[in-house]
A and B are shown apart, each in its own frame.
Chain A
Amino acid sequence: MPVNKIVDSFDEAVADIEDGATIMIGGFGIVAGAPSLLLEALARKGSKDLTMVSNVTGFGKMVWKQLGFKFAEDPDILVRNGQIKKAIATAPVSTIYENNFERLLRAGKVELETVSQGTLAERIRAAKAGLGGVYVSVGVGTVVEEGKETKIIDGKKYILELPLKADFALIKAHKGDRWGNLVYRRTSRTFNAVMAGAATVTIAEVEEIVELGELDADAIHTPGIYVDRVVVRPLVIEEEEVEINAEAKESYEKFKERKGN
């Protein structure tokens, strides 16, 4: 029987993400690399007590919609929906305004583990590669070192960082085929390509599904072995009204100001 990893809908793609699951979410924080429609589907499903592994905890749809993005959800949708128990992130809060995660953190409703970005990437890669961990020098002498095993190698101090595995990885790619081969575009590869294969089930949201062979064998970024499900974004979406409240508007203005700098 032909291998076919393509699933018909976003709801079907996330149907088995149960309460308490650990999920990785690809992207950088910039919505271009975020699996927006998988996140929307998971929000509809409503699974609770999720542990989320991602670069950021999200800025919210408002910011991205205002900037003109069609698919505008980032991890914030799960945060504001009350589905997150714990986040493992490198930039959990915004430097310019209080995001939903910070609000919940201050209220004691979520837990946080802050990781440096390169260490997050290596811990995920270690899980994907079946390694027992990696020794890194980043974080020596800082809060990151606390409670961790250290080792001197060639006269330099290293911290043992353990692999980070998830039940599900939600990623976003540019094109994919039925074997799960993926290519990304420009700066949207980010954590998407790293997380592919680091979870029991990797689900890829793509802009286009192509026939086998259309992706050049030398140019495939993520070989299909790491991918379990592929789901395609719709060509046309219904335009929705974005409700602008004063608070969101203010944070957007600040965001724009920062971007202008």
Chain B
Amino acid sequence: MQEKERLDRQTIALRVAKEFQDGNVVNLGIGLPGLACNFVPAGREVLFHAEIGVLGFGEMTAPGEGDWELVNAGGQTVHEQPGMSCFDHAEAFVMIRGGHVDVSVMGAFQVSEKGDLANYMVPERQIGVIGGAMDLASGAKKLIIAMNHTTKDGQPRVLKQCTYPITALNCVKLLITDIAVIEVTEKGMVLKEVAPEWTPEEVQRLTEPTLIVDPDCHEIELM
């Protein structure tokens, strides 16, 4: 059976950005989450935070055109904009750990039914890159995970229990994958949206825990 089409990176980022509310302070992780800064819904003002010590920066610059002393956490140069503030690392993490950052978006290797997150180490490699992931996962008011629903060989990454080393427990609030949008609740994982052409049953087959299908479950809305 030929598998149905999944959402690409840009489309996942577009869906992620829909979660940003007016006035939110948002921290975007390296890679796919970072793309979401290009898709802030029209009419909403969002302040981007980077743990390198900057709040309220603009979009990424064209390659080679930026100021190397103004970069995001991924080392990409970004535009300066009025209202932007710069600070040191301790301050940047006071903002994160003190619960002042509204939304954190990052990638993951695995997410469990209870919202546990594993994203800093592949066990085979034995050395992890913790970076700011543990801080952001524990400190942000709302943690959104953007990732592919399955591994390259089709194994579920949404699991009953994470098998990879844990980054933080009970932290994931919303999961946006290439085939579904899932909310983590106290009752369990609630399937809210599915990718075009996909059915809840097909998403369930690629998901280890039993999903609660929301009565209002519908096709992913991008706008």
Contacts and interface: CB of A to CB of B under 8 A. Distances in A.
Nearest to A101: B127
Contacts of A193: 88-90
A245 interface: no
B38 to A, nearest CB: 12
Interface string B22-64: 0000000001101100000000000000111110000000011
Contacts of B125: 93
A122 B96 CA distance: 12
A138 B135 contact: yes
A115 B93 CA distance: 14
Interface in B152-193: 165-169
Contacts of A144: 130, 134
Q: Give the interface centre of B53, B89, B135 by most chain A CB atoms within 10 Å.
A: B89
A194 B130 contact: no
A206 to B, nearest CB: 14
A21 interface: no
B90 A105 contact: no
Interface stretch (A44-52, A182-190, A230-238): A182-190
Given A117-B130, A141-B166, A186 B135 contact: no
A27 B168 CA distance: 26
Nearest to B86: A186
Contacts of B169: 140-142
Interface stretch (A9-17, A28-36, A76-84): A28-36
Interface string B57-89: 000000110011111001110001000001111
Contacts of A31: 68
A204 to B, nearest CB: 14
Nearest to B138: A138
Q: Give the interface centre of B34, B168, B169 by most chain A CB atoms within 10 Å.
A: B168
A254 B133 CA distance: 23
B52 A30 contact: yes
B143 to A, nearest CB: 13
Interface residues of A, number: 54
A237 B207 CA distance: 58
Interface string A125-141: 10000000000111111
Interface string B121-148: 0000101111111110011000000000
B208 to A, nearest CB: 20
Interface in A67-125: 67-69, 90-95, 102, 105, 112, 114-119, 121-122, 124-125
A136 B139 CA distance: 11
Contacts of B134: 116, 118-119, 138-139, 142, 144
A221 interface: yes
A221 B91 CA distance: 12
A259 B93 contact: no
A187 B70 contact: yes
Contacts of B80: 186
A143 interface: yes
A91 B80 CA distance: 27
A227 to B, nearest CB: 14
B100 interface: no
Closest 8 CB pairs of A and B: A118-B93, A118-B135, A193-B88, A116-B134, A117-B132, A141-B169, A186-B69, A186-B70
Interface of B: 31-32, 34-35, 50-54, 63-64, 67-71, 74-76, 80, 86-90, 92-93, 96-97, 125, 127-135, 138-139, 165-169
